[in-house]
């Protein structure tokens, strides 16, 4: 097993459970720590509360879509 890349986790924002499970698995196999959110608003709240090295988001989600989330993260 490889050593973790960094202490900061990756925030994965995805509303489809199958996609969320698959993406999480791929990242965890490569020794990344992954936090998950099921919609953009939850992702935004988690981003504001944490330190993430990367945010991976779906574009079409309920409550807050990925485009809005990305715009907020970039501010």
Among residues of the chain, what percentage have pLDDT more than 70?
Answer: 92
Of 66 and 47, more confident: 47
Pick the CATH number of 10-74 from 3.40.50.300, 3.40.50.2300, 3.10.620.30, 3.10.20.740: 3.40.50.2300
> pTM of the full predicted structure?
0.80
pLDDT digits (tens, 9 = 90+) for 7-32: 789 999 998 999 989 999 998 888 88
Nearest to 62 by CA among 37, 41, 35, 36: 41
CA distances from 62 to 44, 47, 49 (A): 13, 17, 21
What residue ranges do the domains of the chain occupy?
10-74
pLDDT digits (tens, 9 = 90+) for 27-46: 888 888 999 999 989 989 99
């Amino acid at each position: 097993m490889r050593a973790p890349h960094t202490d900061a986790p990756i925030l994965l924002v995805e509303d489809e459970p199958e996609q969320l499970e698959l993406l999480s698995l791929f990242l965890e196999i490569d020794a990344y720590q992954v936090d998950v959110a099921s919609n953009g608003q939850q992702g935004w709240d988690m981003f504001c509360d944490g330190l993430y090295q990367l945010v991976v988001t779906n574009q079409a989600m309920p409550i807050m879509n990925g485009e809005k989330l990305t715009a907020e993260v970039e501010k």
